[in-house]
Structure 1
Amino acid sequence: MKQIFFALLGVISLSACAQGPQSGAAAGKAPGAQATTAGATAPLGNAPKVGANTPEARAVAAVHMLNPRVTIEKVKAAPIAGFREAIVQGQVVYVSDDGRYLFLPGPQGALYDVAAKKDLSEQSLATVRKDLIKAIPVSERIVFAPPNPKYTVAIFTDVECAYCRKFHSEIAEYNKQGIAVQYMAFPRMGIGSPDHKKMISVWCAPDRKKALTDAKNDRPIQARDCKNTVSMQYDIGQRAGLTGTPMIIAEDGTTVGGYLPPQQLREALDRLAQGGKTSASGATDPVASTGG
């Protein structure tokens, strides 16, 4: 699960990444130099005692460089050469012996470059996601946009999920922030569910925007069926790695997260445009475990 990964990243301000516990990175020191300092003195945050200038010290320093508040229960040799295994907040992570890379195992695993503060897995997935989304024509998306948008986001949405509804209730504010929203269908209860049928009715309505707004506000919509792309969009959402709705995707394929208030979403997009990173930590509603 990436929750622990995002917990590690959470303390790193997207607008002030240099505010981490170690100022050495900002001064151009290598991860190993930071780790030596951490090992030679009391470990930052809550962590086991480790020897100075050891792979264990570098592992502790790397984790605390991401978040000084997390608890590290144990650090030991990993079952793979060149890595230490750390128990962080009840989850296993692997840190390279030089302290440069942090690997999060599991179905939603990730490889993180600690020194560069980059999710290397996300970079690869963003390219794939961007290509997948291209398969959904803009004409098959439900678009709410200001006259001259600064940014455009594609969002996999559901008519039932609470955070999707909250996001849509503020759609005018997102537009005021210069953000165009292109909704794509992801009935989170799966193919053939009442949710799926309701989203088909929305996509088959003569006025999709009104039908979507009505459905998200529990207003009755006419049951309809037609040739539609709802199931195809759902399949693409799964292939894009969706685990909860809403899933907000920037134009380069980067996930911006789940629900974020209008101003926070604009700030995240501004940072991304400036070559920064996003927190990808917005709230979502989980999809059905059956996956349709």
Structure 2
Amino acid sequence: MKYALFAVLGALSLSACAEAPKPAADAAKTPAAASAKPAEAKAAAGTPDARAIEAIRVLNSRVTVERVGAAPIPGFREAIVAGQVVYVSDDGRYLFLPGSGGALFDTTAKKNLSEVALAGMRKEALKAIPASERIVFAPANPKYTVSVFTDVECGYCRKLHSEIAEYNRQGIAIEYLAFPRAGIGSQDYNKMVSVWCAPDRRKALTDAKADHAVPNKNCKNSINQQYDVGQRVGLTGTPMILAADGTQLGGYVPPAALRETLDKLATDGSAKPAATGPVDAVPAAATAGGA
């Protein structure tokens, strides 16, 4: 999956994005030096350091490489970008972003090799959930079908569902999978069991997301299985949107933007980064408790 390095390095500097901009009056008082860009690292042409800098610029020409030098990994150079460490192979082809949510990039193909591997795994994992266990909202002749892990209490899940008609108008079929963020056995979980056991699941899901009462029901269901699959595919928040090939398209993505992303994915194999779109995070206690 192709996408610019700012999609990756942007995640390295989210703390900067979280800071509210200063009012104009305050900004005028800020010393000019405070807004100065850090110095760009220099390297002799044709050296591994120069190739590392060029590889980073290929993925995002706007970032500043503050430092580059020897790495603790043989065959790689270590660079500092946006206050974070990245590793680039001596030939400049591969860039490794360590840490949580890190990835390995092929800078020549502009491809996230980690996402390619994960997409294949997600696609296979989703096959375990039969079509009969999905709650589907689809137009007559959908252009695309996406799987969406959802939770009835999740604010962004509710926002997505409130626009379900527009997703369908964009030619997108939504296949919902259950992921009660509070964990197995929680009140949230019991509500989702009631939805999946309802005679009209689509109506029950819509009612639950609108805070309307859904009759308590219990039956043989696949909520536990769906929850397990969600954990397997790396879900950390809901909603989680997955394309048919397993590519993660983000959390909440507006209908028109999702259609644009799917068109691009179908045309040239590229899509927006996996982190795109807000989600409601899974509580740590639920993650620790597992299924």
Matches within 5 A, 1:7-26: 7-8=8-9
Taking structure 1 as the reference length, what is the TM-score of the superposition?
Answer: 0.82
Task: Report how far residue 5 of structure 1 moved.
Answer: 7.0
Does the 8 A contact of 1:5 with 1:104 survive in 2? no
Q: What is the aligned partner in structure 2 of residue 47 from structure 1?
A: 40
Structure 2 distance, partners of 1:144, 1:115, is 39
Structure 2 distance, partners of 1:148, 1:105, is 42
Matches within 5 A, 1:97-112: 97-112=90-105
Residue among 162, 173, 177 paired with 1:180: 173
Matches within 5 A, 1:103-142: 103-142=96-135
Q: Which stretch of the first structure deviates more once superposed, 163-172 or 99-108? A: 99-108
Other structure's SS at 1:274 match: helix
2:288 aligned with 1:288: no
Matches within 5 A, 1:1-292: 6-8=7-9, 47-279=40-272, 280=274, 281-290=276-285, 291=287, 292=290
Change (3 A) 1:48 1:170: same
Q: Give the total of aligned pairs.
A: 256
Unaligned runs of 5+ in 1: 11-43
Does the 8 A contact of 2:66 with 2:80 survive in 1? yes
Taking structure 2 as the reference length, what is the TM-score of the superposition?
Answer: 0.82
Over the residues paired in the alignment, what is the CA RMSD in angstroms? 2.0
Does the 8 A contact of 1:111 with 1:120 survive in 2? yes
Letter in 2 for 1:125: L
Task: Report how far residue 9 of structure 1 moved.
Answer: 7.5
Aligned-pair identity in percent equals: 65
Does the 8 A contact of 1:249 with 1:256 survive in 2? yes
Unaligned runs of 5+ in 2: 12-36
Deviation string, structure 1 residues 19-48 (Cα, Å, up to 9, x no partner): xxxxxxxxxxxxxxxxxxxxxxxxx99632
Q: What is the aligned partner in structure 2 of residue 38 from structure 1?
A: none
Structure 1 distance, partners of 2:38, 2:9, is 12
Displaced runs of 4 or more, over 4 A: none
